[in-house]
Amino acid sequence: MSVKSFGRVVLAVAAAGLAACGSDEVGADRLDSVQAGMPKDSLMAIMGKGPLTGQFGDTLRLDHGFRVQRFLTGGKMFEVLYYREKPGDVSEPVAQFTETPVVLADGKVLGWGWEYYVEKGMGEFKLPTPIKEQPASAAGAPPKS
């Protein structure tokens, strides 16, 4: 199985588990008022200031203290902001237990959450998996607090 396929399987299984629980998304209570079609500035008012930091060039991967990724796919500019509550550094890898993606296109919210990212972001919009495969020794290790 390729790394890309493995990543999709892991995300799909995790998203299904999160969908069953409903409120397990990081920041679900805050993100509950996010609506499709909402402009980015309204989204940022809801999200507030993020807890991530970066140094030098890494600051380009931050938007108001949240991790941001931008992709030009199918002639459309997509932006993914990752809502997070725990402090950290943008150089850390994306992790489902610490971050929740919010997908925007052309400055408007399309949807949010891991289920949305897997089904629409990766499926329909062909966005890449944000989760990198961990080395075998780290794969079974519990997450660091």
Sorted by where each starts, the structural domains of the chain and their CATH numbers stand as 3-130 (3.30.1450.10)
**Confidence bin at 134 (pLDDT 50/70/90):** low
Taking only the tens place, the pLDDT of each residue in 62-115 is 999 999 999 998 889 999 999 999 999 999 999 999 999 999 999 999 999 999
d(CA 55, CA 59): 6
Mean pLDDT, range 31-54, rounded to an integer: 96
Greater pLDDT, 123 or 23:
123
Q: Has residue 33 got a pLDDT over 50?
A: yes
